[in-house]
Each structure stands twice: as structure tokens, then as C-alpha cells.
């Protein structure tokens, strides 16, 4: 069974109503990234950061998978599919995908604020101040912040190196180290990019599909299933 590796970014979640991490004004839901998505922000004002992610989690839980999420699940009928996502939502899983690697964590889990590998399910949408991990430290969102290591990047690079076909969806290839994953895909492997704004970095003999995810993904999936 051929291996398809899919790398998804904010564009696929945006069509489910979730604001993208890097909007044109540099803000995320009206906040400067430096104020809500760095270890320093947590040290300065943990209550504000906690509330920010609680509200984002609420939005994620209210959002629904879209046609692109559902289309990707159909590929599993014919291919071995691994989705590597830069997104912190769980829409791929709720859409039915069974093998998802979250590069930047997943907001529907909590983690220890002193040991990132200690993660826990969240009951509901809120992590309260005073809720602690087994080491006695405050729980926070299981999200990789700017300035923190990306623990799944080596796993993702290994997966990409074994791809028989590679698909980029809704990503600007601007966030590193995730943007470098395409370099691990063997040169001879066929590569597709689905995005209404094809990034200038896509000069590596990639087949360009300049559509939004809900149009381009079902279109490509139908093509691949017909082969």
C-alpha cells in the first residue's frame, strides 16, 4: 500500500471558522503573538494566557470539520495516510482521520508547565488556574509556543522521508521548522500543493492546485482514488 503524507496548515482550519495563527495584521484574535504564545508571556501573565487558550479551545470545540477534512479520510480506503498538521485543533480526528501527528500540540489536551511530555485530557473547554500536574505545577494548554522545542519534528521528518506521495494543504511554508519538512521528501516523489495563494517557495517541481482546501482537496482525492 502506497504511503501518502499530508502536511496541513492554517488554511484548512480557517474554512471551519477558526482564525489563522498568522493573520495579515500579525495578530491572533486581536492579540500580539508575543503576549500569548511565548514562555515569557506565561511568566508575565499566566492568567491572561490561560484565558486566551481557554477561549480558543471553546472555539475549536464549537467548530466542525469541513469538506477537506472529510475528503482526506477517503484516501485511507486505498492508501496508508499520515497527516502531519501544524494546527492545534482536533478537526482531522473528528473528520475521521486515524493517523495524525500534531507538530505544535493539540489544544484539547493540557500539559505540565514544567515538563511538556506530561499531558492530560481536559474535561470540558477550560483549564483553571490552580489545576496542577502530578509534579505540582500549573497545567497549561498543550501547545508549542514560539521559543519552545518542537518535539515531534524528528518523527515528522522520518515520516516525510518515507512518502510515496506528498500533499501540502493550506500552508504558507513560513513557519519553521515545519516548513523544512518538504526537504525530507525524496526528490522523485510527486508533490502537490493546495492553497489559493501558492507560496513563492514552491519551486521544487510541485504540482500547484490554487484552490481553497474545501475545493482542492476533494478534487485531488477523487483523482487519486481513480488511479
What domains does the chain contain, in order, with CATH numbers?
A: 1-18+66-104+150-227 (3.40.50.1220), 19-62+109-143 (3.30.1600.10)
Mean pLDDT of the chain: 92
pTM metric for this prediction: 0.92
Euclidean distance between CA atoms 70 and 213, whole angstroms: 11
Euclidean distance between CA atoms 3 and 152, whole angstroms: 19
The pLDDT tens digits of the residues spanning 44-82 come to 999 999 999 999 999 999 999 999 999 999 999 999 999
Q: Which of 69, 92, 102, 104 is catalytic?
A: 104
Euclidean distance between CA atoms 9 and 11, whole angstroms: 6
The pLDDT tens digits of the residues spanning 160-211 come to 999 999 999 998 776 667 778 999 999 999 999 999 988 665 555 889 999 9
| Residue 67 contacts residue 218 (beta carbons within 8 Å) | yes
| Angle, helix 213-226 to helix 67-74, in steps of 10 degrees | 10
104 annotated active-site: yes
pLDDT exceeds cutoff 60 at 122: yes
Look up residue 160 and give its three cell numbers: 516525510
Contacting residues for 30 by C-beta, under 8 A, at least 6 apart: none
Q: Which of 185, 177, 39 is nearest to 114 (CA)?
A: 39
Q: Which of 44, 108, 37, 99 is nearest to 73 (CA)?
A: 99
Amino acid at each position: 500500500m502506497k504511503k501518502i503524507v499530508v502536511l496541513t496548515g492554517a488554511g484548512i482550519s480557517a474554512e471551519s471558522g477558526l482564525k489563522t495563527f498568522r493573520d495579515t495584521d500579525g495578530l491572533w484574535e486581536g492579540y500580539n503573538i508575543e503576549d500569548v504564545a511565548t514562555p515569557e508571556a506565561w511568566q508575565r501573565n499566566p492568567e491572561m494566557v490561560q484565558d486566551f487558550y481557554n477561549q480558543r479551545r471553546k472555539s475549536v470545540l464549537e467548530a466542525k470539520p469541513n469538506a477537506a477534512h472529510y475528503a482526506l479520510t477517503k484516501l485511507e480506503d486505498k492508501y496508508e495516510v499520515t497527516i502531519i498538521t501544524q494546527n492545534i485543533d482536533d478537526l482531522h480526528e473528528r473528520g475521521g482521520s486515524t493517523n495524525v501527528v500534531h507538530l505544535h500540540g493539540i489544544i484539547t489536551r493540557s500539559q505540565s508547565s514544567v515538563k511538556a511530555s506530561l499531558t492530560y485530557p481536559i474535561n470540558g473547554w477550560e483549564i483553571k488556574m490552580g489545576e496542577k500536574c502530578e509534579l505540582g505545577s500549573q497545567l497549561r494548554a498543550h501547545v508549542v509556543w514560539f521559543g519552545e522545542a518542537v518535539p515531534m519534528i524528528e518523527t515528522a521528518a522520518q515520516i516525510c522521508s518515507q512518502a510515496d506521495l506528498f500533499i501540502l494543504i493550506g500552508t504558507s511554508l513560513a513557519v519553521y521548522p515545519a516548513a523544512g519538512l518538504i526537504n525530507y521528501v525524496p526528490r522523485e516523489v510527486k508533490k502537490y500543493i493546495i492553497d489559493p495563494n501558492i507560496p513563492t517557495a514552491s519551486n521544487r517541481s510541485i504540482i500547484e492546485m490554487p484552490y481553497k482546501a474545501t475545493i482542492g482537496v476533494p478534487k485531488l482525492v477523487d483523482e487519486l482514488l481513480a488511479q
